[in-house]
C-alpha cells in the first residue's frame, strides 16, 4: 500500500485543487486514497503480465486486505508481548514536508558543502572568559541546555560546573564534562541541544538536563515544549532556515559570531520528497532490533541464507551489527492504524489488542485509538508469510511454500525490505524466508534517477 509515497501523490492532487487532507478529514481522505489506489494499483500487474511474467495471478495479494491486515496486527501484538515493541520519547528523524517521522533508512545522507559557524559563549559572572563552540545549525542554539567539554581536556577543567550565557536570549547554561566530546575537534567544546540532536540527547540524559523543543512539526522556530522564554519574539514564527539567516545577522551584530568557515558534511534528506530532515524529540513507537538482527545474522553465518553477488554480504552484516531500534510509527493517515488504545478516565493504558477495543476493560470508559499508522515496511516485511496463510500455523499453503527459494530484487531495498523479511521469518517462523537473495541493477531515467511514484517518472 506504499503509505508515505501514495499519500504524497494524493496530497499533491489535493494541493492542485486548493485543499489539504485536513480539509477533507481522516475518513474522507482515506477513502480518496483508496479510490486512487483502486484506479492505479493494477498498472504494475498489467506491466508484469505484458513482459511475460509467469506468476500465478490468482494469488495476487494486498497489504490492506482483511487477511494481511490481521497478520500485521498479530505481528505487532506478538512483538509487544515479546517485549520488542515499546513507546519511547527520543530524538527521531522528522520530515516537515511529509509531516511524519522517518526511520534511519528513510532519512538518506546527501553530501553538501555548508557552513560551520563559530560562536562565542561568555562565562557568566566573568565576561572576560569565554568558550567558543562550532555548529552547522545556529538556529538550534535557542535549544542549547549546556556546553560539553572532555573531562580530560586541561583547557576547560576550571570551567566545568560553571555557567555560560547563551547569546540572543541571555539564558545561563552549565558547562558539563562528558567523554562524548573530542578535544582534538575544533575548540573541543560542544553545544548540547538535546531535543534536536540524537547524540546531544544521550548527553542530556547522562547529566539530567532539560530538553526544550524549539522547532515545531512544520519546521518553524517557536516554543513547543519546555522552552520557557528561549525564543526571542523577532525569531518566533520563522521557518528554520529563515531563522538561521536572522540569527547569524543578530550574532554578528552582537559580536558573538567569531567566524564562518566552509564545511563539507552529510545532511539527511527525506527519501520521498528530498526535504532536509529535522532531528526532533518526539513520542514514537519502536521495535527493539538487536534480538531480531541476531537471528538474521545467524542465518547468514550458518549458510541458511546467502546473498549474491557475495560482496553484498558484508553490507548486510555491517548494517545488522550496528542496527538501532526501528521507529515504526508514522504521522500519516494512509496505513494500518497502530492497534493501541488509551483510556483517559482511569489511565489503564496503553491497551494493545488483536481486536478493536470499544470501551476500557477496567472502568468501562471511552477509549481512543492511537492516531499513528505503522511504517509500510512493517507490513511488507511479512509478505513471504502473510501471503500464504500466516499467522495460521496450520495453513496448508504455509506448510507447502514456506520457506521459498530465491528472492530477486535491487540492492537499494536490502535494508528496507530484504533484511526485515529475513528478521521476521527467523523470529516468527524459525527459518529465513528464502535461501538465496540475488541483487541486480535497476533501470534509471535520463537523469540517472530510479523510477518511483514520488518522482513521477
DSSP line for 314-379: HHHHHHHHT---EE-EESSSSSPBPSEEEETTT----EE-SS---S-TTT---EEE-S-EE-HHHH
The pLDDT value given to residue 229: 86
The rounded distance, in Å, linking the Cα atoms of 214 and 229 is 10
> Are the beta carbons of 287 and 85 closer than 8 angstroms?
yes
The pLDDT value given to residue 43: 83
The pLDDT value given to residue 347: 80
The rounded distance, in Å, linking the Cα atoms of 212 and 225 is 5
The pLDDT value given to residue 376: 92
The pLDDT value given to residue 194: 96
The pLDDT value given to residue 66: 93
Residue position matching grid coordinates 511524519: 100
Nearest to 170 by CA among 122, 238, 126: 122
CA distances from 62 to 315, 328, 386 (A): 30, 20, 10
* CA angle 58–62–66, rounded 5-degree value: 105
pTM of the model: 0.86
Local confidence pLDDT in tens for the 457 residues of the chain:
888 888 888 988 999 999 989 999 999 999 999 999 888 878 888 999 999 999 999 999 999 999 999 999 999 999 999 999 999 999 999 999 888 998 888 888 888 888 999 999 999 999 899 999 999 999 999 999 999 999 999 999 999 999 999 999 999 999 999 999 999 888 899 999 999 999 999 999 999 999 999 999 999 999 898 888 899 999 999 999 999 999 999 999 999 999 999 988 889 999 878 899 999 999 999 999 999 999 999 999 999 999 999 999 999 999 999 999 999 999 999 999 999 999 988 887 899 999 999 999 999 999 999 999 999 999 999 999 999 999 999 999 999 999 999 999 999 899 989 999 999 999 999 999 999 999 998 888 998 888 877 778 8
The pLDDT value given to residue 312: 96
Question: For residue 250, what is its C-alpha cell?
Answer: 543578530
The pLDDT value given to residue 61: 92
Q: In what order do the strands lie in the sheet with 406-409?
A: 306-308, 436-439, 406-409
The rounded distance, in Å, linking the Cα atoms of 145 and 212 is 8
The rounded distance, in Å, linking the Cα atoms of 89 and 68 is 30
The pLDDT value given to residue 454: 72
224-247 core/surface letters (b: 16 or more CB in 10 A; e: else)? beebeebbeeebeebebeebbebb
Q: Are strands 146-149 and 189-192 parallel, antiparallel or unpaired?
A: antiparallel
Amino acid at each position: 500500500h506504499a503509505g508515505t509515497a501514495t499519500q504524497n501523490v494524493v496530497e499533491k492532487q489535493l494541493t492542485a485543487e486548493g485543499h489539504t487532507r485536513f480539509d477533507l478529514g481522516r475518513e474522507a481522505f482515506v477513502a480518496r486514497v483508496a479510490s486512487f489506489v483502486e484506479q492505479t494499483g493494477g498498472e504494475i500487474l498489467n506491466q508484469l503480465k505484458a513482459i511475460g511474467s509467469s506468476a500465478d495471478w490468482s494469488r495476487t495479494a494486498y497489504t490492506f486486505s482483511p487477511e494481511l491486515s490481521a497478520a500485521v496486527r498479530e505481528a505487532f501484538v506478538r512483538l509487544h508481548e515479546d517485549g520488542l515493541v515499546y513507546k519511547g520519547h527520543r530524538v527521531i528523524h522528522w520530515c516537515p514536508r511529509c509531516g511524519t517521522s522517518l526511520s534511519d533508512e528513510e532519512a538518506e545522507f546527501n553530501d553538501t558543502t555548508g557552513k560551520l559557524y563559530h560562536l562565542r559563549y561568555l562565562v557568566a559572572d566573568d565576561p572576560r572568559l569565554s568558550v567558543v563552540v562550532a555548529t552547522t545549525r545556529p538556529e538550534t542554539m535557542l535549544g542549547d541546555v549546556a556546553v560539553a567539554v572532555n573531562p580530560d581536556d586541561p583547557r576547560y577543567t576550571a570551567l566545568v560546573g560553571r555557567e555560560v550565557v547563551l547569546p540572543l536570549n541571555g539564558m545561563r547554561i552549565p558547562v558539563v564534562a562528558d567523554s562524548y566530546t573530542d578535544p582534538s575537534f575544533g575548540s573541543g567544546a560542544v553545544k548540547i541541544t538535546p531535543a534536536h540532536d540524537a547524540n546531544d540527547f544521550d548527553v542530556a540524559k547522562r547529566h539530567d538536563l532539560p530538553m526544550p523543543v524549539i522547532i515545531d512539526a512544520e519546521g518553524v522556530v517557536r516554543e513547543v515544549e519546555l522552552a520557557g522564554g528561549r525564543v526571542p519574539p523577532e525569531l518566533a514564527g520563522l521557518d528554520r532556515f529563515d531563522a538561521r539567516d536572522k540569527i547569524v545577522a543578530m550574532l554578528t551584530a552582537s559580536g558573538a559570531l567569531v567566524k564562518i568557515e566552509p564545511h563539507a558534511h552529510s545532511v539527511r534528506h527525506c527519501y520521498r520528497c528530498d526535504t532536509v530532515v529535522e532531528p526532533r524529540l518526539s513520542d514514537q513507537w519502536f521495535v527493539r532490533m538487536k534480538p531480531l538482527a541476531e537471528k538474521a545474522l545467524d542465518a547468514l553465518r550458518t549458510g541458511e541464507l546467502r546473498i549474491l553477488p557475495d560482496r553484498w554480504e558484508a553490507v548486510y552484516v555491517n548494517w545488522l551489527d550496528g542496527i538501532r531500534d526501528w521507529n515504526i510509527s508514522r504521522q500519516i493517515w494512509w496505513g494500518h492504524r497502530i492497534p493501541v488504545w488509551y483510556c483517559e478516565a482511569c489511565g489503564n493504558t496503553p491497551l494493545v489488542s488483536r481486536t478493536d477495543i470499544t470501551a476500557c476493560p477496567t472502568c468501562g470508559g471511552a477509549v481512543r485509538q492511537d492516531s499513528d499508522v505503522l511504517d509500510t515496511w512493517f507490513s511488507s516485511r511479512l509478505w513471504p508469510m502473510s501471503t500464504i496463510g500466516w499467522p495460521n500455523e496450520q495453513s496448508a499453503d504455509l506448510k507447502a511454500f514456506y520457506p521459498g527459494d530465491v528472492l530477486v530484487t535491487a540492492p537499494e531495498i536490502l535494508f528496507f525490505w530484504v533484511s526485515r523479511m529475513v528478521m521476521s521469518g527467523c523470529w516468527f517462523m524459525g527459518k529465513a524466508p528464502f535461501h538465496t537473495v540475488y541483487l541486480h541493477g535497476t533501470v534509471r531515467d535520463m537523469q540517472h534517477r530510479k523510477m518511483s511514484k514520488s518522482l513521477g517518472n
